[in-house]
Amino acid sequence: MVATWRSLVIPVMGKPLLTASSARAQTRAIEAHGKVVGEGRLIEVVLIDPEVSLPGAEARAALDAGVPIVSPYYGCVSAVFEGDGFRAALVRGVLTSFQMLSRHHFPQKIFASIDHCASWTFGHARPLGMSVSSPAEIVDALRVVRAIAVEHGVFGSVDHPPPQHGHTGSP
């Protein structure tokens, strides 16, 4: 799933396994919005479901092939992987490492919450020409996209996480 709003492109990496054809479609959608926004002015915020499945080799290859197509359009890139605990911190750490290795010229950052991501994004949005008056506008847009993704089964509900494995009832 990919949503757009003003200069934002919001890919959603959800529970369904990403296929190579879906990855190529995502690249086409991002490129199309990048052409509208202009080179160096696109702002990407990836919403990652806490239960996301790792893509297979073909999907990863399709994502990698898309990088040189979409990267000229980026002004900044961020991702939100919500959650607490070791697993969430580990995933954010791995994503941050990948960003550091990518050596792209645009700012990149991983966040544990939509609110923190929106504040950081707001600091980049206005200099990149996006008409936005506050981080709250970005928060609202990201929450709407997340709600649509939850409604369509692409994203799990972060407000009502699934029960922990092994828990069978009341305490």
Domain ranges of the chain: 2-151
Output the CA–CA distances (angstroms, integers) from residue 34 to 60, 107, 169, 171, in the order listed: 21, 17, 49, 51
Is pLDDT above 90 for 92? no
Helix, strand or coil for residue 4?
strand
Helix 57-70 to helix 20-37 angle (10° resolution) is 10
Q: Which region among 47-56, 127-136, 140-149, 155-164 has the lowest average model confidence (pLDDT)? A: 155-164
Task: For 53, list phi and psi in degrees, rounded to 5.
Answer: -90, 140
Predicted local distance difference test score (pLDDT) of residue 64: 86
Residue 25 CB coordination number (10 Å): 13
Model pTM score: 0.83
Euclidean distance between CA atoms 95 and 108, whole angstroms: 10
Whether the CB-CB separation of 41 and 7 falls below 8 Å is answered with: yes
If one compares 76 and 165, the residue with the highest pLDDT of the two is 76
Euclidean distance between CA atoms 118 and 115, whole angstroms: 5
Compute the chain's Rg from CA coordinates. Answer: 16
Tell me the pLDDT of the chain averaged across its residues: 83
Predicted local distance difference test score (pLDDT) of residue 60: 85
- Cα torsion angle, 65, 60, 94, 1, sign: positive
Look up the CATH number of domain 2-151: 3.30.750
Is pLDDT above 50 for 167? no
Can you tell me the mean pLDDT for 44-50?
Answer: 90
Euclidean distance between CA atoms 113 and 98, whole angstroms: 19
Predicted local distance difference test score (pLDDT) of residue 6: 96
If one compares 28 and 104, the residue with the highest pLDDT of the two is 28
